Amino acid sequence: MIAAMVGCSAATPSPSGHGSGGAAASGASGSGAGGDGHGNGTGGTDGFGNSTSPAPTGSTVVHATDAGLPPADNCTYKDVDLVFTIDITGSMIPELNKIVAEVGKVDAALQAKMLPHPPHYGLVIFADDVMVMNNGEPYADVAALTSAVSAQIPMSNSVPWRQVDPANADTNFSWPENSLDALYAAAIGFKWRPAATTLRTVIHVTDDAFWDLKMVSSAAGDPMMLEPAGRCSVSILALNPNCMMTSSMHGYADTVTALRDNSIWVNTFSAHTGGPPGATAAPASHGAFRGADVDVSFGFFKPYNGNQPIALSTGGDAWDVDDLYDGKISLATPIINAIVKAQCKTYPPPPPPPPPPT
């Protein structure tokens, strides 16, 4: 691995696998089995309502009405670069399994779109620290991406409070994770194809709040915000004296700017509630390591610190990661619908209006 620091690490005891600022590095990929196909053959529709009839020779014009878009939005499709930024802490194991099971369906639907060239896939994983996988290169195919995600599951099962980099000695016991540095790393660390001919898309998957520079947490009601130390409880400091030094290297506004400057549409699977297990009974989708007493939706579903949510700020969509776990939504269908919707738009989308004052 070639490490490039983007933050510091944190720790505190609680088996959630949640934490603060981190390091970025590039890591190795692998190979493995992809998902099943959709829409093979001609003259019909695939599992996402898209026509599978062949396009005229030499044409990449796809009728947007095949994907439920208005006829006026017919357009010539661009190539698709799709990077997953994934929280790999212990509470995310159910969602990691969902990604492994369904990412092949995303690829099958994209292949049915008759894009100019095959889709490219990338991966950024994060806890307190951040790692751009495969040295920022696109994976050879979706099977290699699937294998890289699958390889994280046994490690998170074994050590739910793990960091991404095994050399990172600070165990991840605090609750926020490093979403901002992960998104920033995807924006500048993946080898995207030219924006003029490529739809650049990030799928961000997490179940927790995030660090924002030295802000303790993006969450409302986070227990860490109530401590006299502001960031780290006395018990946390006893186990990890470095806790007060933790941070993300990039702030919320800087991260959104980097995404917009690099023409990246961000779509998020994130949670409404989380934090440590507490008084409120958590649903099965939260698993053993996530509670339901903390509002972790700020910046994902709700405005954060006077700024609109990340997906809205970059033209993307936001979905509930617990709906994914519960089977209310699939992984593939929302992603494909978001890509189809963005294909006929120009970047950057207009900046969203500021949220109303609270």
Separation between Cα atoms, residue 43 and residue 51, nearest integer Å: 7
Residue with tokens 């739809």: 199
Please tell me the CATH code under which domain 13-26+61-343 is placed: 3.40.50.410
Separation between Cα atoms, residue 277 and residue 326, nearest integer Å: 19
Structure tokens, 232: 């780290």
Residue with tokens 């400091």: 237
Structure tokens, 281: 């009974």
Structure tokens, 199: 């739809």
The separation between CA 285 and the C-alpha centre of its own chain, rounded to angstroms, equals 18
Contact 287, 217 (CB under 8 A): no
Separation between Cα atoms, residue 186 and residue 136, nearest integer Å: 8
Q: Who's near 186: CB < 8 A, 6+ residues apart? A: 83, 85, 122, 124, 132, 202, 264
Q: What one-character-per-residue DSSP string does 25-61 give?
A: EEE-----------S-SSSSB-TTS-B-SPPPTT--E
Domain ranges of the chain: 13-26+61-343
Considering the entire predicted model, what is its pTM? 0.77
Q: What is the pLDDT along the chain (358 residues), one digit of tens a residue?
A: 333 333 333 333 333 333 334 444 444 434 333 333 333 333 333 333 333 333 333 333 333 334 443 334 567 899 999 999 999 988 888 889 999 999 999 999 999 988 999 999 999 999 888 999 999 999 999 999 999 999 999 988 888 878 888 776 556 766 788 999 999 999 999 999 999 999 999 999 999 989 888 666 777 655 554 443 444 545 545 555 555 555 789 999 999 999 999 999 999 999 998 877 777 777 777 777 787 888 899 999 999 989 999 999 999 999 999 999 888 999 999 999 999 999 988 898 888 888 887 6
Structure tokens, 204: 């961000």
